Amino acid sequence: MHLSPLQSRLVASLAASCLLILLYLILFPPSFALAAELNDAFPAVSDDLDFSIDPAVLNNRDPMYEPEFSAFDRSITGRVPEGVTPLTDNEPLPMNIQPGSTQLFVFVLPSGSPGEEDGRRHELRGEHNASREATAGAGATEQAKGTFEDGQGIGKRQAKQTVYISANTCDRPLPVDPSKTTQDAPQLTLFVSTSAENQAPGPLADQGSQDVVVFNEGAVMYSFNTDGEVYLGVYAPNVSDSFSTKPYNVQVVVSTDGYYFSYDDHDDADLIWVDSDSQGALLITHNLTDSTDPKLEAEIMKTQPYVLFAHNKKDRAINGLKYSYCGLYRHAQIAATKDERATPLVRTGMTKRGPGNLPKQQFFFSGLNSSAEYFGILARDGLDDGDHLATRQAAFKRGTRVFKATSFRTKSNHGNCALVIDLSFCDQIAYSVPSNPNFGNSTKLADFYDSYARSAYANFEKSLAQVPCDAPSSQRYSLVRNCTDCAAAYKDWLCSVAIPRCEDFSNTAPYLQPRAVTQPFPNGERLDAETLASMPNTTAFTASRNPRIDEVIKPGPHKELLPCDHLCYKLVQSCPASLEFGCPLPRGIGFAGNYAKHDPSVGLTCNFPGSAHFPSAGERAVLDWGLMILVLVAGSLTV
C-alpha cells in the first residue's frame, strides 16, 4: 500500500518513539515485586475493640484540641522521654526530689528567639550544640567535670543564645534529733548537658559530657551559650538515718533573659547593723542612689524595694538555705515582706539619715531574744522590679535576689539601753541610749532626749545671733566657713553629747567608758564590790554623762561609746572665736572619759551621727559615713 507523505512522516515518528522507549527499558530496567517474594508469615491483625462512632455523636463533637506549648515546637512535643520534665522559658517549676534520686529536665530554646530567623536553615552536617564557654553564678561551687559534646545529626540551625539556669532549695530533710547531730542535709547538685548522647545528666552519666555545679546555701546560678536543647539533672544526695524522710523541694528556672533567682555573696554585706537593745535591732541599707535630683529622690522615698529576714543563729532551720529566697520565706523566724508573712515585729520605711542625706531603707525589729546573735538577710522579692518579662504566674516572681547575711546581736536583759529612732530635732540620731523600763516606752524616751537637746540648742542660737553672719565677706569671721556651717557643726556635736550612746556594762571593749557604776540596775541589782574596786571613784565613772539622765531616767550601770574627737575640732574650725569653743588634746586633761578617736581598723570605736555599730559589715559604711558627714561628734556638754 502506498502511503501519503503525511502518513509516511507519522509512521517514522512512531517508529522512532518506540525505539527510544525500548532503549530506555534496556538501560534502566524497572524492578517489580513478585508474588513469590511476599511473606505470608504475618497474621492478620484483629482485636475485640469496636472503634465505630455514632454519626450523631460525630456530628456534635467539639473542635479538635490543639495543645499549645510556647517554649516547644512540634519537633520536641511528644518525644520527651518518660521521667524528663520540660521547662518553659522564665517559668519556675517546683519539684520534690527524694534523697538518692535525680530529677531530669529538658529545655529547648523558644521559637522566635533573637537571631533565629537569620539562621533558620537546614544543613546536611552535624552542628555544635553548645559553646564551650560556661560560667557559674556568683559564689557557685564549680566542678567542671567536662565540656559539652558536639550534637550530631540534621537539625534546625539558630544563633547561639545565653541560657541562664537558676534554682532555689525551698525544703530539705531535717535532723530527727538536732541535739544528736551537728550536720545539716547536704546540698543539691546541678548537672547540665547539651549533648544528645547525654540526655540524662547526673552522677552516673559520662562526666566528660556534662558540667557539675553544687548548690551554695540552697541556691545555684549557671549560664552558658547554646543553640540547641539543654538537658538538666538535679541530684538529691542520700542522707543518713539521722535525718527525716522528708524530700528536697526545689524550684528550677531556665531563662534566656537573665537569672530568675540570684544571690550576691560579695565580701561586703549590703545591710548595715546600726545598733540594738535587749529586744530589738535597727538595720539599714546603703544609699539607694547617688543622685541628688530632688524628683528622683522623691520617687525613691515612695518605694520600699527590699524585704528582710531575721533568724536566731542557734536555730538551724535556715542552715543551708541562706541564699534561697523561698527557703528563707518558709523557714526564717521573722520576715519583713509585703504579703502574708508581714509581721508587726518589723517596721520598715525610708529615711535619709546617714551618709550624704540620701535615700535608704531601714528596718526596726522588736520581739527578739536578749543576749542573742542573729542573721539579718536582705532580699528583693521581685514583685515591684518592673522587669520586662510578662511571666507572673509563679509564687516567687522573677527578680528575687538574696544578699549576704549580716550578723547582729542583742544586748543583755538589764533593760538599761533602749533604741530610739526618728527623732524630730536630732534627726541623725538612731541608736541605743541610757534607759529604764520603768520610765516609759521608746517614744517617751526619745522625746525626753530630743527635747533636752532642742532646749540647749535654743541657747546657742541666741549666742550665734550676736555674730554678724550677713556682713560683707571682708568683715566675716572666716573666708571659708559661715554661720550655717557653725550651726550644723554645733547641732551634730550637741545631739551626740546630749544623747549618749549606750552599751551593755558587760561589754569589755577597751574604748567604752563605764558610767553610773555605783547606782543600781533597773531591776535593783548592783555591781559587786570587786568590780567597783577596780574602777576610780570619780564622776566620770559614778555618774552618767549628763546629770539629768541620772535624775530622770536612772539607768544604772552602763557603758558609753564616747563621741569622736573630730567633732570638737570641726566645731572650733566652723564657729567664730567669740563663742570660745575649745577642745582638749589626746592624752591631755579633759580628753579621757569625754572623747575617743575613730579607728576604722577596729570598728566603731567612737560615736557620731549616722554611725553604724557593726564593725565588719559596717567598716566600709563607717568610712563612707565619716567622709560624707563632715561634722563628727566629740566633747562634753556644759550645763
> Can you point out the beta strands (E) in 474-543?
501-503, 512-515
For 357-404, give the secondary structure using H, E and C. Answer: HCCEEEEEECCCCCCCEEEEEEEECCCCCCCCCCCCCCCCCCCEEEEC
- pLDDT for position 440: 85
Distance of alpha carbon 593 from alpha carbon 613, whole angstroms: 20
Render pLDDT for 494-549 as a digit per residue (tens, 0 to 9): 999 999 999 999 999 999 999 999 999 999 999 999 999 999 999 999 999 999 99
Which residue, among 159, 153, 144, has the nearest Cα to 197 in the 3D structure?
A: 153
**Domains along the sequence of the chain with CATH:** 84-261 (2.60.120.380), 266-410 (2.60.40.10)
Which residue, among 550, 518, 511, 549, has the nearest Cα to 535 in the 3D structure?
A: 518
Distance of alpha carbon 447 from alpha carbon 445, whole angstroms: 5
- The SS3 of residue 503 is strand
Beta bridge partners of 393: none
> Letter for the amino acid at 404?
K
Compute the Cα dihedral for 339, 341, 343, 345 and give only its sign. Answer: negative
Q: What are the angstrom distances between the C-alpha of 26 and each of 15, 21, 22, 34, 411?
A: 17, 9, 6, 20, 106
Compute the Cα dihedral for 471, 473, 475, 479 and give only its sign. Answer: positive
- pLDDT for position 273: 93
CB 105 within 8 Å of CB 232: yes
> Letter for the amino acid at 23?
L
Nine-digit cell at 630? 563632715
Distance of alpha carbon 188 from alpha carbon 190, whole angstroms: 7
Alpha carbon 428 to its chain centroid, in Å, reads: 27
- DSSP 8-state class, residue 534: T
Which strands, in side-by-side order, build the sheet including 281-285? 271-276, 281-285, 360-365, 346-351
- pLDDT for position 159: 80
- pLDDT for position 570: 94
Alpha carbon 360 to its chain centroid, in Å, reads: 16
Beta bridge partners of 379: 307, 402
Instruction: List the Cα angle 552/554/558 in 5-degree steps.
Output: 140
Residue 440 backbone zone (phi > 0: left; psi -120 to 50: alpha; other: beta): left
Which residue, among 134, 358, 98, 331, has the nearest Cα to 225 in the 3D structure?
A: 134
- pLDDT for position 637: 36
Which residue, among 510, 509, 495, 483, has the nearest Cα to 453 in the 3D structure?
A: 495
Exposure class string for 489-510: b at 16+ Cβ within 10 A, else e? bbbbbbbbbbbbbbbbbeeeee
Distance of alpha carbon 535 from alpha carbon 513, whole angstroms: 11
- DSSP 8-state class, residue 267: S
- The SS3 of residue 222 is strand
CB 243 within 8 Å of CB 104: no
> Letter for the amino acid at 537?
N
Beta bridge partners of 347: 364
pTM listed for this prediction: 0.75
Beta bridge partners of 191: 212, 233
Regions of the chain with pLDDT less than 70: 1-7, 24, 27-81, 112-158, 267, 338-342, 383-398, 613-639
Nine-digit cell at 635? 566633747
- pLDDT for position 131: 42
Nine-digit cell at 446? 526619745
CB 100 within 8 Å of CB 247: no
- The SS3 of residue 560 is strand
CB 583 within 8 Å of CB 569: yes
For 403-419, give the secondary structure using H, E and C. Answer: ECCEEEECCCCCCCEEE
- pLDDT for position 491: 95
- The SS3 of residue 223 is strand
Report strand pairing: 261-264 vs 406-409.
unpaired
Distance of alpha carbon 269 from alpha carbon 405, whole angstroms: 7
In sequence order, which residues have a C-beta less than 8 Å from that of residue 151 and are 6 or more positions away? 126, 127, 128, 129, 130, 194, 195, 196, 228, 229
